[in-house]
Amino acid sequence: MADSVLELKAVEHRYVQGPKELTILSGADFTLTPGEMVALVAPSGTGKSTLLHIAGLLEHPEGGDVIVNGQSCAGLSDDRRTAIRRSEIGFVYQFHHLLPEFSALENVMMPQLIAGLEPAEAKERADQLLAYMKIGERAAHRPAELSGGEQQRVAIARAVANAPLVLLADEPTGNLDPGTAGYVFEALEALVRQSGLAALIATHNEGLAARMDRRVTLSEGKVVDVPA
């Protein structure tokens, strides 16, 4: 495995708003190593979600490169980028985005089945992940029957179902009350520490950010470290 599992090199990205051009990223560099939890803290509107989307190969940067587990992604086809995203990268969003017509278990099985795993194997791993997230007893329930914290724990289990190397999370506890947010973060942190995942987590919660290995922010289009 590469020393870094995710690397951004001189990434450029801009948006055009009418006559104006808004620079989001300007020569942005960032490195994430296995087992590391990094908090991305920055005010709303500064480009946190854009950075995560580019890092996760959901958007193409206008310049620079994204390197995932040693693989340069700058010149890859969309099909190849999609394949890397499915196998190497997991996503957790502020809203859970679970499929409402399926149970918690089926939601966690889904990405594994898409990847070609046999149903019995997918079910076994889904059961294990839900149990690890301390929500195994709710496996048969649909999302509408789960609390907000339970929904997010299912979403985290689904994000890591295909054993990715990198987990990207965009305000994963933003919709939760403080007590539930802490509980969900504890489950996420335990999963990262036990599995050796590398995690980049955007959050406005300073208490949660302080529990991670380091903090970074966006300043003048660059990713910069926040002093401890």
Predicted confidence pLDDT, tens digits, the chain (228 residues): 448 899 999 999 988 777 888 888 888 999 999 989 999 998 777 788 899 999 999 988 989 999 999 899 988 899 999 989 888 999 888 777 899 999 999 999 999 998 888 999 999 999 999 988 888 999 999 999 998 889 988 998 999 898 899 999 988 887 778 888 888 888 888 888 888 889 999 988 888 899 899 999 998 889 998 887
Beta bridge partners of 40: 202, 216
Q: What pLDDT is stored for residue 121 in this prediction?
A: 94
Amino acid at 17: Q
pLDDT at 199: 94
Q: Give all strands (DSSP E) within the chain, no chain letters.
A: 6-17, 20-32, 37-40, 63-68, 71-72, 89-92, 166-170, 198-202, 214-219, 222-226
Specify the residue for token string 């509107």.
45
**Nearest alpha-carbon partner for 4 in 80, 88, 116:** 88
Ramachandran region, residue 53 (left: φ > 0; alpha: ψ -120 to 50; beta: rest): alpha
Q: Residue 1: what pLDDT?
A: 43
Strands of the sheet with 166-170, listed across from one edge: 89-92, 166-170, 198-202, 37-40, 214-219, 222-226
How many CB atoms are located within 10 Å of the residue 214 CB? 13
Report the pLDDT value the prediction gives residue 177, as an integer from 0 to 100: 82
